[in-house]
Chain A
């Protein structure tokens, strides 16, 4: 049996799925009873919603607006193309794994078309919509502040992308105009649920892919031989939430980076190397060499490149993707000029809550 991943996005059909009736036919369509509650419930758990419907975009969005549901749906694909193509677009825009998307539609033909082209996408018949919230895949182990805010954060991001596209001038000055702040801190107990969630949800920018439970993270946070860092990114649009995590093991003669990951949502913000640079700087201050564990997969090449371009070289490689990197820290990059980086203990850093 295959292990199904936690769902990150539900893609809805509209006619006879989200509502009863067909929009382009005479007569009124009616929202399915209880569906608003299902959508809001999943949204509150950090599960996103989108649409793949063959309809007129303006008409369908108008209807959703009437019911005040339009805000729930990210990148709705309302067009006359195939549903698999729509789902592919949604997946690309949200930058999430195809195996974390599910599709709900009343027509077996559409479900089959999607299953055929995208076998990783689980499909559901429209009549089962009330059962969705109870599914294991729809129940993340923790619902964190970040998960509750997830849709809002994606919406802020859509605004950013739009502004970026419309911005005239060099990219550096656009980046500076965002007034980004990258805040690195040592994890506290309240960060651990989100930290566990990050280890489960992150694939592309993940050095080891190993997941850590809350209990393991708690022990590591309390350990004198470890440092567990979390980081948050904010800019003038709002906060991206806690988006990065690193675990350092401190040995007598070297530091070892056991885990490093960064949410894909911040990939386009060019902040992916900051946490790594910070740890390199700290290890060098301490007069230590730095090692790093890495598990190469077909999805985390960007992380491999990040290490190599930060002057890590392969110390060992077992030929099955298990790599230990080493860095003599002779070349350590500073922080990028377009981001204000706040580090633990630095002046002005909100170290303890008042």
Chain B
């Protein structure tokens, strides 16, 4: 699986969405799509760090970096390059 696919499937399985079986695109804003609570945020962060063997520091923890699948992918790629 690519980074994108992994992140998509993690979000599909963990984000609490109000509608049923809502489809989401890679550019959709997660914060509008479902309810982002602290538990989801922490799980997402742990997943990204473990799965891609990176550390997200304080600076990178900006809400924009996590607002869509695309943004998370580019964050992971950016951290991996440094």
Report which A residues bind B (CB closer than 8 A). 170-172, 175, 205, 267-268, 270-274, 296, 301-306, 308-311, 313-314, 317, 331, 333, 336-338
Contact = CB atoms under 8 A, between A and B. Distances in A.
Given A273-B38, A301-B42, A302-B38, A309 B17 contact: no
Contacts of A268: 39
Contacts of A333: 31, 35-36
A313 B45 CA distance: 17
B61 A337 contact: no
The prevalent SS among residues of A at the interface is mixed
Interface in B24-45: 31, 35-42, 45
Nearest to B42: A302
Most buried by B among A308, A309, A310: A309
B42 A336 contact: no
Interface in B9-60: 16-18, 20, 31, 35-42, 45, 58
B39 A175 contact: no
B63 interface: yes
A311 B63 CA distance: 6
B58 to A, nearest CB: 7
Interface of B: 16-18, 20, 31, 35-42, 45, 58, 61-63, 66
A306 B38 contact: yes
A331 B31 contact: yes
18 contacts: A170-B20, A205-B38, A267-B39, A268-B39, A270-B35, A271-B37, A272-B37, A296-B58, A301-B42, A303-B38, A305-B38, A306-B38, A309-B63, A309-B66, A333-B31, A336-B35, A337-B35, A338-B35
Contacts of B20: 170
Contact of B61 (A270, A274, A303, A305): A305
A78 B58 CA distance: 42
Most buried by A among B31, B35, B58: B35
Most buried by A among B40, B42, B62: B42
B63 A304 contact: no
Nearest 7 CB-CB pairings of A with B:
A272-B38, A306-B38, A336-B35, A309-B41, A270-B37, A308-B61, A337-B18
B16 A314 contact: no
Given A308-B62, A331-B31, A172 B37 contact: no
